[in-house]
Amino acid sequence: MPKNIILLGPPGAGKGTQAKRLEEARGMVQLSTGDMLREAKSSGTEMGKKVAAIMDAGQLVTDEIVIGLIAEKLEAGAQGGFIFDGFPRTLAQADALGALLAAKGAKLDAVIELVVDDAALVGRIVRRAEEAEAAGQPVRRDDNPEVFAERLQEYYKKTAPLLGYYYAKGGLTQVDGMAAMESVADQIAKVLDKV
């Protein structure tokens, strides 16, 4: 049975890291709106030009753009189910996702919150930037302490309300995102095995 899940959590919580592991381990399909937007940015499309400055400032891209990207990807379907990584990030996006899934006769099977404290988050982001630089790879323009502070503020203002939204629907499970990556993956596997 395909399982559709959301990975929720602040920037740098490890949503992308865990989504990639789930793709490999379970044949699920990762839908990362962050990756989709970065791809649009680097390919220089009209949409990419529109979103570049917003992302570089650590703010959220408009609901309309992001919901459009997800709606397109859902069309293709996924045998193992979808991992929504970085989506939804607002209540409007959460409502839209519910409607899109319902229109396909599908539903959400789990919403998993990766819980990580703010100090650890900024440490991870700074480390990622340093590692990329040392390896001669491009550094994400939003991976620096100043922009990160804005990303975190956006999270608490616009995304954190989703925790109560999904909790009220009875579908929110917290996992300890401060643990080592392997251990976070084990915790997520246990949640998925139960649904």
Residues engaged in binding ligand B4P (CB under 6 A): 9, 11-17, 33-34, 37, 54-55, 58-61, 66, 86-87, 89, 93, 124, 128, 142, 151, 180-181, 184
Least distance in Å: CB of 1 to ligand B4P?
A: 26
Instruction: Select 87 or 166, whichever has its Cβ closest to ligand B4P.
Output: 87
CB atoms within 10 A of CB 62: 14
Q: Does the annotation place 60 within a ligand binding site? A: yes
Nearest partner of 156 among 9, 1, 5, judged by Cα: 9
Query: CA separation (Å) from 66 to 53, 97, 107, 145, 151?
Result: 15, 11, 19, 25, 17
The Cα–Cα gap between 55 and 50 comes to 10
Least distance in Å: CB of 83 to ligand B4P?
A: 11
Nearest partner of 108 among 71, 80, 82, 75, judged by Cα: 82
Q: Does the annotation place 127 within a ligand binding site? A: no
Q: Does the annotation place 87 within a ligand binding site? A: yes
Question: Active site residue: 15, 21, 41, 158, which one?
Answer: 15
Catalytic residues: 15, 89, 128, 141, 151
